[in-house]
Amino acid sequence: MHNQLSVVIISKNEEKFIADAVESALFANEVLVLDSGSTDNTCTIAQEHGAKVLHQDWLGFGAQKNKAVGLAKNDWVFVLDSDERITAELQSEILNTLQDPAADGYHTARLNNFFGKNIWHCGLYPDYSIRLFNRQKGRFNNVPVHESVQIQGNTDKLKNHMIHLAFDTVEEFSNKQKKYAALSQKKKNLIKAFFSPIWTFLKIYIFRLGFVEGWRGFVIAKVYAQYTFWKYCK
């Protein structure tokens, strides 16, 4: 008998995404949504689609996810964002892996969808991060943004990817990067504010083959370059 699995999702005002996220996680023994005060129909939709919904005031990304992981009924957890989907292939691989886990945590690839198209270049694939892990051996760090799981043990990689519905519009993408830049603020440095965006653009658009993605690749490189500028110039 394989280990029991909980899929945990943190949410706030995610009524646009939450139904499909929960649906993709129903292969697990538990789907837990930890909501931080939605004023839309997120909680109702999540419950209607089979999730257990609990409330926790916002603690910060890492702390909120640690809280959700701690509230799950199983030690093995998969942490999913509301705008992510676990594919059928990944579902099967997870279940097979949990029959006899060889590691304490598993890096999972993510295929990012920007403006209605899956992006295979720009350095955005495979976009690995640890999502499946034994909570007795791992927890999220407590950084302001881009939190990650720290494992006290050995790790491995899953072969299949999940889907991330990153951004529908350029405006949405740009606004989110401004927010992240504010959370990741560096000491003001005009030299880095000038040179870092140039390098970021060239790295993404040229060296990581962003140009293959057409106008989307150009926009992705441009906005990430702006992000590095905002980090050092604000």
Do residues 181 and 123 share a domain? no
CATH number, domain of 24, equals 3.90.550.10
What does each C-alpha distance from 141 to 92, 125, 148 come to in angstroms?
A: 28, 23, 6
The residue among 118, 136, 167 that closes a domain is 167
Distance CA 160, CA 93 (A): 7
pLDDT at 193: 85
pLDDT at 145: 77
What does each C-alpha distance from 176 to 16, 21, 126, 190 come to in angstroms?
A: 17, 20, 21, 23
> Are the C-beta atoms of residues 13 and 42 closer than 8 Å to each other?
yes
Beta carbons within 8 Å of 215's beta carbon, 6+ residues apart:
none
pLDDT at 234: 64
Q: What is the pLDDT along the chain (234 residues), one digit of tens a residue?
A: 479 999 999 999 999 999 999 999 999 999 999 999 999 999 999 999 999 999 999 999 999 999 999 999 999 999 999 999 999 999 999 999 999 999 999 999 999 999 999 999 999 999 999 999 999 999 999 887 789 999 999 999 999 999 999 999 999 999 999 988 887 777 788 888 889 999 999 999 999 999 999 999 999 999 999 999 988 886
Do residues 51 and 109 share a domain? yes
Do residues 206 and 161 share a domain? no
Do residues 44 and 133 share a domain? yes
pTM of this prediction exceeds 0.85: yes
Beta carbons within 8 Å of 105's beta carbon, 6+ residues apart:
130, 132, 133, 134, 137, 138, 149, 151, 153, 154, 155, 156
> Are the C-beta atoms of residues 139 and 76 closer than 8 Å to each other?
no
Amino acid at 117: K
Number of domains in the chain: 2
